[in-house]
């Protein structure tokens, strides 16, 4: 099964046009023709069965045959705030894997030790979209622009965590700290970790310090492990 | 801290020579000089503090100043058997991440639906070694050569799992199935999944069928998630 994306398609609509880029993909690359049925999502939980009614390279038009709403596969809201890695590839891996495993919102953050100060947000958006379609999900994680660490401190959430690698007896292991079915916010630092000042600042803003196990993990591995810890804590409520 | 590798260094040794390649790396790339102290592991749990006594481009000699044995960070033995992905990058990413999170033995497997029938074992070995050093571990996971699925069925382990995506009410979620501190063997299939015959064959050989959650995961994401599920089940014994 292949899934297509149309951000504006809503459940009461009976027909729609794809964007030029998506039309080209459907008609030119995949050689879909008038009469072919395709499955489409708007990334907001809606799935549509559609029939192609016009198949021009720059204009692919569809008629909606059926609609179904799919709730998210997970019953929590996870906002990951991660410092982009020096190597862009590694951050892109995180975006793809977090989307596959389950994440609702992603904010790349700029911290004291960040080496990467610019991001390619359009490219990131495409990676997330493609991972959503590939993993057959109907909810597109929200991607925010690069944000300074100071500006994320007052975002509200039920549980707010900062993962750091300083020796600190007060750090809980993330998996233990997760209360199921909550609104979570989790910060992961860059290669050089958060500064001690940043950690202090976060603690003053009701963040809890967490660790992600005994091994020293790279930024992107830490971020993916964290998404997965939250996913399994929520899907094994009696474990 | 940077960690160097010398496979033959043993705890009673007082001096040693590095290989040509490692010597070049230490002396030419990192510009280490006579008298510099470096930390070395043999990948078998031994850590050595050493002093460089000769620093030639093709011959770096060291004297051992101190030794300590580090047990593994985890108290289980995990053997991952994974079908290499079509894209080699994705499999290499699995090797790196599994080493960071915790794995003891890796066997690339050849299955009915495998599209990749050759592997670059020397390159894989380098990736695992580099991930071990980078994550400051002292135990090098064992890497086996590409092995036909039929030939892995009778390997012994306390818990043997096959992860597949067929609808089957008897599949347990892996996290639930893990009994702590055991010897585990886990098979992950290729992009097209294991064949039904392969699944049947595994079940006949005392494998248990498991799922890895509700989302459809790529091969390498499934493999990493599995390593992580086993790690957190073992580090949260009372959870």
**Chain A CB within 8 Å of residue B56 CB:** no
Q: Which residues of A touch B94 (CB under 8 A)?
A: none
Minimal C-alpha gap between B177 and chain A (Å)? 10
Q: Say if residues B188 and B163 touch (Cβ distance below 8 Å).
A: yes
pLDDT at B2 over 90: no
Return the closest-CA partner of residue B140 out of B156, B157, B128.
B128
The ipTM value here is: 0.91
Supply angle C-alpha B2, B6, B10, rounded to 5. Answer: 115
pLDDT of residue A2: 86
Q: Compare CB distances from B215 to A93, A100, A214 and report the shortest one's residue.
A: A100
**Chain B CB within 8 Å of residue A3 CB:** no
* Domain architecture of chain A: domains with CATH: 3-69 (2.40.240.20), 77-235 (3.40.1280.10)
**Chain B CB within 8 Å of residue A12 CB:** no
**Chain B CB within 8 Å of residue A234 CB:** no
Q: Compare CB distances from A135 to B74, B215, B224 and report the shortest one's residue.
A: B215
pLDDT in tens, B155-202: 999 999 999 999 877 899 999 999 999 999 999 999 999 999 999 999
Q: How many CB pairs under 8 A join A and B?
A: 83
Q: Indicate the pLDDT class of residue A123, thresholds 50, 70 and 90.
A: very high
* Chain mean pLDDT for chain A: 94
| Residue of chain B whose Cα is closest to the Cα of A75 | B214
Minimal C-alpha gap between A114 and chain B (Å)? 19
Q: Which residues of A touch B73 (CB under 8 A)?
A: 214-215
**Chain A CB within 8 Å of residue B229 CB:** yes
pLDDT of residue A236: 76
* Residue of A237 and B92 predicted with greater confidence: B92
Q: Indicate the pLDDT class of residue A151, thresholds 50, 70 and 90.
A: very high
Q: Which residues of B touch A135 (CB under 8 A)?
A: 215-218
Q: Compare CB distances from B221 to A97, A137, A235 and report the shortest one's residue.
A: A97
Q: Beta A59-69 vs A46-56: how paired, if at all?
A: antiparallel
- Asked if B236's CB is within 8 angstroms of A173's CB, the reply is yes
Q: Say if residues B77 and B43 touch (Cβ distance below 8 Å).
A: no
- Asked if B239's CB is within 8 angstroms of A176's CB, the reply is yes
Q: Which residues of A touch B175 (CB under 8 A)?
A: 232, 235-236, 239
Minimal C-alpha gap between B91 and chain A (Å)? 13
Query: DSSP character for B140?
Result: P
Q: Say if residues A85 and A97 touch (Cβ distance below 8 Å).
A: no
pLDDT at B239 over 60: no
Sorted by sequence, the CB contacts under 8 Å of residue A175 that are 6+ apart come out as A229, A232, A233, B232, B235, B236, B239
- Asked if B225's CB is within 8 angstroms of A228's CB, the reply is yes
| Long-range contacts from A10-14, C-beta under 8 angstroms, 24+ separation | A10/A42, A10/A46, A11/A46, A11/A67, A11/A69, A13/A64, A14/A63, A14/A64
**Chain B CB within 8 Å of residue A150 CB:** no
**What's the per-residue H, E or C state across chain A?**
CCEEECCCCCCCCCEEECCHHHHHHHHHHCCCCCCCEEEEECCECEEEEEEEEEEECCEEEEEEEEEEECCCCCCCEEEEEECCCCCHHHHHHHHHHHHHHCCCEEEEEECCCCCCCCCCHHHHHHHHHHHHHHCCCCECCEECCCEEHHHHCCCCCCEEEEECCCCCCCCEEHHHHCCCCCEEEEEECCCCCCCHHHHHHHHHCCCEEEECCCCCCCHHHHHHHHHHHHHHHHHCCCC
> Rounded to an integer, what distance in angstroms lies between the CA atom of residue B38 and that of residue B51?
6
Longest dimension (CA), chain A: 64
| Residue of chain A whose Cα is closest to the Cα of B236 | A176
> Rounded to an integer, what distance in angstroms lies between the CA atom of residue B107 and that of residue B17?
31
- Asked if A225's CB is within 8 angstroms of B101's CB, the reply is yes
- Asked if B218's CB is within 8 angstroms of A232's CB, the reply is no
Q: Say if residues B75 and B114 touch (Cβ distance below 8 Å).
A: no
Q: Which residues of A touch B218 (CB under 8 A)?
A: 100, 134-135
Looking at chain A from residue 96 to 125, which residues have their Cβ under 8 Å from any Cβ of chain B? 97, 100-102
Task: Tell me the average pLDDT across B72-98.
Answer: 96
**What's the per-residue H, E or C state across B167-193?**
CCCCCEEHHHHCCCCCEEEEEECCCCC
Return the closest-CA partner of residue B110 out of B147, B79, B150.
B147
pLDDT at B84 over 70: yes
> Rounded to an integer, what distance in angstroms lies between the CA atom of residue B218 and that of residue B84?
12
pLDDT at A239 over 60: no
In percent, the amount of chain A with pLDDT more than 70 equals: 99
| Residue of chain B whose Cα is closest to the Cα of A102 | B215
Q: Which residues of A touch B102 (CB under 8 A)?
A: 215
pLDDT in tens, B115-171: 988 999 999 999 999 999 999 999 999 999 999 999 999 999 999 999 999 987 789
Return the closest-CA partner of residue B187 out of B86, B110, B97, B128.
B110
pLDDT in tens, A46-81: 999 999 999 999 999 999 999 999 999 999 999 999
């Amino acid at each position: 099964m292949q899934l297509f994306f149309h951000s504006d398609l809503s459940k009461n609509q009976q027909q729609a046009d794809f964007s030029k880029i998506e039309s080209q993909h459907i008609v030119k690359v995949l050689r879909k023709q008038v009469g072919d049925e395709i499955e489409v999502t708007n990334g907001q939980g809606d799935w549509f069965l559609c029939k192609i009614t016009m198949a021009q390279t720059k204009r692919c038009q569809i008629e909606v045959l059926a609609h179904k709403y799919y709730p998210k596969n997970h019953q929590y809201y996870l906002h990951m705030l991660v410092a982009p890695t020096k190597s862009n590839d590694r951050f892109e891996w995180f975006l793809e894997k977090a989307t596959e495993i389950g994440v609702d919102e992603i904010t790349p953050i700029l911290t004291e030790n960040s080496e990467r100060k610019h991001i390619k947000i359009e490219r990131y958006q495409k990676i997330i979209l493609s991972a959503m379609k590939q993993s057959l999900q109907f909810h597109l994680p929200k991607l925010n622009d690069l944000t300074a660490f100071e500006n994320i401190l007052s975002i509200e959430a039920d549980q707010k965590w900062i993962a750091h690698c300083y020796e600190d007896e007060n750090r809980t292991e993330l998996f233990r700290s997760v209360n199921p079915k909550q609104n979570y916010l989790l910060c992961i630092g860059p290669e050089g970790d958060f500064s001690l000042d940043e950690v202090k600042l976060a603690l003053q803003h009701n963040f809890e310090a967490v660790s992600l196990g005994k091994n020293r993990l790279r930024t992107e591995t830490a971020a993916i492990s964290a998404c997965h810890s939250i996913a399994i804590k929520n899907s094994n409520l009696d474990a």
